[in-house]
Amino acid sequence: MKIILYHLTLTCWLTLGFIQLAAQSSFFTNEKYPKNGLEIQFGWHWIQNQDLVYSPLIYKGSSITSLALQYERFSKKGIHQIAIGFDQSEAEAGALITFTEFGQSFSRKPGHTRGVRLHYGYAHLVKSSDLFQLYFGGILEAQINVNTYNFGWSDDNGYLLSHSLQPWLLAQYQADAKNRLSFEISFPLLSYLARPTYAIVDNHEIQHEGSDLSYVYQNGEWASLDSHQALGFSLVWDRRLSNTAAFQVGYDLSYTRYSQPLPISILKNKFNLGLSFIF
């Protein structure tokens, strides 16, 4: 299991980088001609996760580790968006114990949680006025969350790998020439998820079933709406700084719950600061 998670995490790191999705649109999407937008963000996040395969307790943690990169391509009809994101923090469920073995004192260490998310989305402009734009489209998203539980003798790694197709609603309100408020919401309709099994037995590896991303994918399954619920929500204030740049303050919420083989629930609250540019 450790080797699976090491390869998986390393692959995600190398492939996806150190960034976190905030799903925040550029300030300049209402320009007349097609434009490119680039956003760079960082933020503080607070995470709660509970994975009953490993523990009945809710693990909580927070840190300033979020880095975000998002590219957008604007047209008269809609927005293409590619985004990549990363977050991580220590997480604890309560007081950590200290015990003695072979005359030595051992203490439990905090757990650790990491998440990487990558998405591509397209939203079509469905309503437009001087003050208000409404877009509707879809997102294709890949996400992995890895939670490390440090028990006594071992550290166990739980993971939730998901690929999902989501409807995506984006609304923008132009308060004045310099200020805009954006709201986004999405949730998965079709998902493919991979999780550890009910009982973690490392000797699957003895039979050389693999210890990399392919092994994880082989053990995934399509999820029904009954077994998988998730929600992504974003609220952003853009403050225009110049013709090519804007300052952003935003809040993101993401929640996911999957009930196989036992429920895992992950809730993330993120508060972000960022800069966006058009070129």
Only one residue has tokens 């070129």, namely 279
* Residue 206 binding another protein, by CB under 8 A: yes
Please choose, out of 5-13, 163-171, 197-205, 240-248, the segment that lies near another protein by the rule CB under 8 A. 197-205
Pairing label, strands 190-194, 220-223: antiparallel
Query: Would you give the binding string for another protein spanning residues 220-259, x where CB under 8 A is met?
Result: ---------------------------------x-x-x--
Contact status, residue 19 vs residue 68, Cβ threshold 8 Å: yes
Only one residue has tokens 């299991």, namely 1
The smaller minimum CB distance to another protein, of residues 153 and 279, is found at 153
d(CA 149, CA 192): 24
* Residue 260 binding another protein, by CB under 8 A: no
Contact status, residue 27 vs residue 246, Cβ threshold 8 Å: yes
Q: Which of 231, 270, 265 minimizes the C-alpha distance to 250?
A: 270
* Residue 217 binding another protein, by CB under 8 A: no
Q: Which residues make beta-bridge pairs with 69?
A: 40, 84
Region 97-136 residues binding another protein, contact defined as CB under 8 A? 97-101, 106, 108
* Residue 181 binding another protein, by CB under 8 A: no
CB of 56 to another protein, least distance (A): 5
* Residue 52 binding another protein, by CB under 8 A: yes
Binds another protein (CB under 8 A): choice among 7, 35, 80, 204: 204
Q: How many other β-carbons are positioned within 10 Å of the β-carbon of residue 110?
A: 16
* Residue 152 binding another protein, by CB under 8 A: yes
Q: Which residues neighbour 114 within 8 Å (Cβ) at sequence distance 6 or greater? A: 9, 86, 87, 88, 145, 146, 147
Contact status, residue 279 vs residue 74, Cβ threshold 8 Å: no
Binds another protein (CB under 8 A): choice among 36, 55, 62, 65: 55
CB of 11 to another protein, least distance (A): 22
* Eight-class DSSP state of 95: P
Query: 9: buried, middle or exposed (CB in 10 Å: 19+, 13-18, 0-12)?
Result: middle
* Residue 142 binding another protein, by CB under 8 A: no
Contact residues: another protein, CB under 8 A = 46, 48, 50, 52, 54-58, 93-101, 106, 108, 149, 151-154, 156, 197-207, 253, 255, 257, 261, 263, 265, 267, 269
